[in-house]
Amino acid sequence: MNSFHLHYPAEAAALEAALRTDPFYATMERSVQGTHQQQREAMVRYMDYSMQEGNRYGALTLVPGIAGAAVWSRPMSPSMAKQCKQEKHAFLQSWMGESSLQTYMRIVDFMSSQLTGNVDEGAWYLSILGLSPEQQGRQLGQQLIQPILAEADAEGVHTFLETFVARNKSFYQRLGFAEKAILHEPVTNSPYWLMVRSPQVKQ
C-alpha cells in the first residue's frame, strides 16, 4: 500500500480522541514506533482506514453535526473476507509498522476465538463507536448506532460488540444489548465484555 488518504479527517480525529484510553487502542498506539505525536497521527489514520473499511465491507454511520462514527462489519463471502483481511494487514504494515501488525493480529485472533458458541454466525459486529469527548454525555451516540440496529431488527439479525470499558455497558444495555461473557485479553492484559443483542420485534 503505497498511498493512503484520509477520507474522514474530522471524524477520525474525533474517534482517536474518544478512544485513546481504551486498552485496545492504547495498546495499538504504543505499538507504533515513533514520537507521541507520530503515534497519535498513526491512530487517526487507523480510525480513518477503519471507516473506509466499514463503508466498503460493512456499514458506516455518520451524522451531520456529530463528531464521531459507528463502524460495523457484516458476514462476507470467504473470498471477500480474505481480501478485506489482506488489505487491513497491508495498511497496518505500511502505515503503522510490523510491530503494530503483529499486535493487532494477536489481539484480534484471540478475541475472534472467543466468539464460537457465544455469538450467532450471521451476527453483525459493531467494531467501533465513538464521539468526540466534547460531545459525550448528550445522548448523541444513539443516533450513530440506531440506524443499523433498526436495519438488523427489520432483517431479524443478531448484533454484537466487545467493550473494554465497563461504564459503556449501561449505554449498550439501554439499546438492548445483554452481557454474554466477561473475558480477559492477554496482550492488553485487560478484561472486556462481550455483549449480544437479539433482534427487537415491534409490537
CA distance 175 to 38: 36
pLDDT at 193: 98
Report which residue type is found at 83.
Q
The pLDDT value given to residue 134? 77
pLDDT digits (tens, 9 = 90+) for 22-65: 999 999 999 999 999 999 999 999 999 999 999 999 999 999 98
Please report where in the chains the cell 507504533 appears, as a residue.
32
Q: Which amino acid is at 93?
A: Q
- Looking only at the bridges linking them, the beta strands covering 190-197 and 159-163 are antiparallel
Share of the chain above pLDDT 70, in %: 97
Residue 100 exposed, middle or buried by CB count within 10 Å (0-12, 13-18, 19+): buried
pTM score, whole prediction:
0.94
Mean of pLDDT over the chain = 94
Please tell me the predicted confidence (pLDDT) of residue 133. 77
Domains, the chain: 9-197 (3.40.630.30)
Confidence (pLDDT) at 138? 66
- Please say if the pLDDT value at position 203 is more than 60: no
